[in-house]
Structure 1
Amino acid sequence: MGAVGMLEADQNDVLQALSAVLLLAQLVFAQDADDHAIIDAQSSETLQHVAELLGPESCDELSGALCTRRLVTRDDVVTVPLTLEQARDSRDALGKSIYGKLFSWLVDRCNDKLVDEDAASAFIGILDIFGFESFKVNSFEQLCINYANERLQQQFNWDVFKSEQAEYESEGIEWQYIDFIDNQECLDLIDRKDQMGILHLLDEECAIQKGSDENLAQKVRDRHAKHAYFAAPKLERSSFIVKHYAGNVTYLAAGFREKNKDALHPDLSVLMQGSQSPFVRALFPVDVAPVVSPSGKMPRKGKGGKSADRMTVASQFIMQLASLMRTINETDVHYVRCIKPNKANKPQIFEMSHSALQLRCAGVLEAVRISRMAYPNRMPHSAFIRRYVLLTDKDWQATHGVALSKAR
């Protein structure tokens, strides 16, 4: 951080926030006599350290935000205890939110220090995301990751196959068309709004007060039962299968709604916005008036934001991915395809059949075919003229003088 000119005070703030994230992961919850979540007695010291780093008014305030939720009714504010699982999710959501905001802050600071005001608009970017995932239990995270991979696979198909073959057709060059798997239908299954793709059905279920993961799974099954890229397990009613380009993945709907709602509960956002640490407050800017103030008071009429107004994780992800695709479409793209050499995740083991399957699913074999059949050398007309004009006679040069002057 010092190498990019970051002040020592800023470096200390970053390290403190990162320490808080690491310590949050060490917090252990227990249950009281009513099966409500509480901070385990053995984690009281860890809680104290986290509070010192994040700057709430007290440990009790942090503990309350992690173990309870305050709900606004028409006339009052009701405190609702969380279950053990909900408290763990709350803790994890806070850690992820701090880490994500800290990462963005660091990127912005590095860009500010490294940017050249006189530089051209050209840039070099590296996109590195999670690869395709398929586990014994796949949840909302895996659907988002695999959706991103589907979208990038479509971009790969366009860059390598569609645009290449379209260029040959436009130039009138004889060409033997190469078939490839177009995954547009799979993408429609996931994100197409007018067909109520899976992510839009999820948003719809999240907007229903009495919605449930079970209802979501049933709606997905009913809506897409006949879709070519969809399947439904007969025994497990709360799951569904998406036939991705890299293979079939079974998703368990349990937890989808909770994970798709705002990544961080308003109580925790308000707590961070009221931190005694200026750095933490800067990470959590106040966009709208809080649903409940840190003191527990209800906001005045017309000032409070409704939780339903917040964008879901799925809708944000769709927008961010669309923005990424627009950026990629404006650049000259080069691909590095990575494969998993074996299913055991062990070194020095190469399974040929497993590797070949990945190459086939990713379209690499077809890409090799199209590269082998294509013309390897390309250059603009102006560069071609400059290079080979010496081979022409004076009559040609006289006839094409305009082209020559432009080329030079």
Structure 2
Amino acid sequence: LVYTYVSSVLLAVNPYKQLGGEERMAEYWQKPPHTMPPHPYAIAEAAYRNFISTQRSQAVLISGESGAGKTETAKIVASYLAKKQTSGWAEDTPQVHSITGQVQHTVTELYDKVRVWYIGLRLMLAGLRLSEVKVLRANPILEAFGNARTVRNNNSSRFGKYSSLWYTKSGRLVCASLTPFLLESARVTSHATGERNYHVFYQLLAGCSEEQQEKLRLRGDDGRDYVLTNQGGESVVSNEQRDHDAAKFAELCESLTSVGVTEEDQNDIFSIVSALLLLGGVEFEEDKEEDEEEEEGGHEEGAGGEPSQAEPEPPSQGGMDTTSNLVANDFLLLDDAASLLGLDTMLLNKTLLYRRMKLNNAASSYQVARTPEQVTQSLNTLIRVIYARLFERIVKKVNALMGYNDGSNDMERLYNHIGILDIYGFESLEKNSYEQLLINLTNERLQQFFVSKVLDREQQAYEAEGIQWESVPLPDATPTVKVIQRAHGVIHDVPYCEGWGIIHRELARVNVCYSSGALSILDDCCLRASRGMPEDDDKYVGEVQQRFFDGSAGCKLKPPRPQKAPPNRGFRKGAKIERAKITSGFIINHYAGEVTYTASGWMEKNNGRM
């Protein structure tokens, strides 16, 4: 049994095989959903019928654990809705805004009809007439840049997306759009053993020709040749895997072409991907030759036989300069990456080595050399930000080519949409880090939404109808969310993840008031570190411990469990604090169980400052 209903919710078990197709879709076409067996097609048909009958936008929420098959289910729903071009059914359905026997057209309504006709004509003349193929061909593009192999799933979505299919009031599909959020940008520079970076890196290496490799200045065609793609611990890459990556690269190029991305734009995209691969291999180390020269020059004598004292350099126009003695281990690598990005090599080098500071709001600024750790952090941040911007740019390009005008208010005013929310599921891994905390926080909010809209509403209906029943206590995610994030007033005022307000406007009705949580404490630590104050992951964990480890009843955050001491560590009996330090982090009690988070590297992952 793959599909079944729980009230109005479709419960799906991942069958790891295709259960859709044209024939199966035809069985559900324009059939009342309650008369058909449980299937995502029935959910899609129900959403479409509700949209037509109510003239209001609809949303299909897909949630579940990582690897449960959410993305594939979203594809099934989207494929059905993309085919809904109204072959007569929608026009015969009773509509809210019927004008039978009356003339109620206002000037605004007439204007709206003209605007609908004009936009449709404009899209057609521009060659952007939407089709099912164009909507579905975007999937390989998004999977290449937004999916990766994890320990649980070979094709795990590492970003959330809200797909919108926009229809006229009569039910005709006019365009589609995608709103991404919570891209796991930290994966670009760091991923766990047994996992991989985003698919596009491996696809590019396996699929591009020798001519393309030379043009993109690649140093090899194997993921093990690059730092960004060689962290998963693979000693050998099978021919089957390489062939799969090469085939996916061909599919990616074909998909980009089919949605209208020109060859020139594709070259620009792959140049950026290649540049990031090269930047990942750049390391900065002390210039030993310069140190030797300074050591020799320091013993030179002046005219009077005394060691000469170097004259201090005058301060620069913006402040006092300090000199960095760090150099790139492979300057040609840095030069090639800068060239692919269209940047000046020396300017990029200087930007990584130095930062400018202002003291006491003074007009002048000081150029300060970064430490080796700060240079590495700045380089990793630059790589992550560039990739995130590239991803956003690709999504905007896909949206535009699917007919969606991002800068126009006409879309929202003239059309309604059916949205499909596909977000990565709850994760509890052997080692849980910053990414898992954000993912699980989002799932806590979705779980609360489900409880409110399904379970709580059902009990309210019983009370309204006077039904005799035994009240069932419902789980409350508020305490868990409270220890993770900070909010004041209503939930939707907190921009804790980009694009979230678009997805769950209903959640804004839940009133809460939170004090400082683990994420807001992390933000404060990162802010202090950016101002030159000594901060690290251990200090962050210390602040969290001081804030929450008080043993109060109902607290959802607590210290990690004491672990057995590894051999030869010499821990004395009863040294619980020392043992706890092995796992520097904390445990959070989520709706799906307790998760132990290790806070190593959180400061760098949370730092988005350039």
Shift of 1:185: 0.7
1:61 corresponding residue in structure 2: 347
Structure 2 unaligned regions, length at least 5: 1-255, 292-323, 405-409, 488-513, 561-576
Equivalent-residue separation in structure 1 for 2:465 and 2:327 (angstroms): 70
Q: Amino acid of the residue matched to residue 243 of structure 1?
A: N
Q: What letter corresponds to residue 66 of structure 1 in structure 2?
A: L
Q: How many corresponding residue pairs?
A: 259
Aligned pairs for 1:340-379 (under 5 A) are: none
Q: Deviations over 1:354-394 (max 9, x none)?
A: xxxxxxxxxxxxxxxxxxxxxxxxxxxxxxxxxxxxxxxxx
Q: Tell me if the contact between 2:559 and 2:585 (Cα under 8 Å) persists in the aligned partners.
A: yes
Structure 2 equivalent of residue 48 of structure 1: 335
The residue that corresponds to 1:291 in the other structure is none
Q: CA deviation at 1:50?
A: 0.7
* 3-state SS of 1:79 partner: strand
In structure 1, C-alpha distance between the alignment counterparts of 2:526 and 2:380, rounded to whole Å: 20
Tell whether the 8 Å contact from 2:355 to 2:370 is kept in structure 1 after alignment. Answer: yes
Which residue is equivalent to 2:401?
113
Matched with 1:374 is none
Asked whether the equivalents of residues 354 and 367 of structure 2 are also in contact (C-alpha less than 8 Å), the reply is: no
The Cα offsets for residues 269-328 of structure 1, whole Å up to 9 and x where unpaired, read as xxxxxxxxxxxxxxxxxxxxxxxxxxxxxxxxxxxxxxxxxxxxxxxxxxxxxxxxxxxx
Partner residue, 1:170: 464
8 Å CA contact 1:94–1:264 kept in 2: the answer is no
What displacement does 1:36 show?
6.5
Find the counterpart in structure 2 of residue 223 from structure 1.
547
Identity %: 33
Contact kept? 1:36, 1:82, Cα under 8 Å: no
* 2:246 counterpart residue number: none
TM-score norm. by structure 1 comes to: 0.55
Query: What is the CA–CA distance in structure 2 between the aligned matches of 1:131 and 1:40, rounded to whole Å?
Result: 40
Asked if residue 256 in structure 1 is aligned to residue 576 in structure 2, the reply is: no
2:589 is aligned to 243
Label 1:135 to 1:215 Cα distance change in 2 as closer, same or farther (>3 A).
same
- CA distance in 1 between counterparts of 2:448 and 2:325 reads 47
Question: 2:544 & 2:377 partners in 1: Cα distance?
Answer: 25
What does residue 524 of structure 2 align with? Answer: 204
* 1:47-196 alignment runs, 5 A limit: 47-57=334-344, 59-73=345-359, 74=362, 75-83=364-372, 85-115=373-403, 120-129=415-424, 131-136=426-431, 138-193=432-487, 194-196=514-516
Secondary structure of residue in 2 paired with 1:124 = strand
Task: Give the distance between the partners of 1:72 and 1:139, measured in 2 at CA.
Answer: 34
RMSD between superposed Cα atoms in Å = 3.0
Measure, in 2, the Cα distance between the counterparts of 1:100 and 1:264. 14
Where does structure 1 lack aligned partners over 5 or more consecutive residues? 266-408
2: CA distance between counterparts of 1:70 and 1:80? 9
Task: Tell me which amino acid in the other structure corresponds to 1:77.
Answer: Y
- Higher helix fraction (1 or 2): 1
Q: Distance between the aligned counterparts of 2:353 and 2:534, measured in 1?
A: 23
Aligned pair in 2 of structure 1 residues 87, 134: CA closer, same or farther (>3 Å)? Answer: farther
- 8 A contact 2:377–2:604 mirrored in 1: no
Q: Secondary structure at 1:70's aligned position in 2?
A: strand
Contact 1:31–1:38 under 8 Å retained in 2? yes
Contact 1:139 1:254 (C-alpha < 8 Å) held by counterparts: yes
* Equivalent residue runs for 1:19-58 within 5 Å: 19-33=274-288, 38-41=327-330, 44-57=331-344
Mapped partners of 1:142, 1:205: distance in 2:
20
CA contact (8 A) 1:133 1:145 kept: no
Q: What SS does the aligned partner of 1:122 have?
A: strand
Partner SS for 1:212: coil
Change (3 A) 1:37 1:251: farther
C-alpha distance in 2 between matches for 1:244 and 1:259: 22
Shift of 1:14: 2.0
CA distance 1:164–1:67, shift in 2 (3 Å): farther
Match of 2:260? 5
Contact 1:69/1:82, CA 8 A, preserved across alignment: no
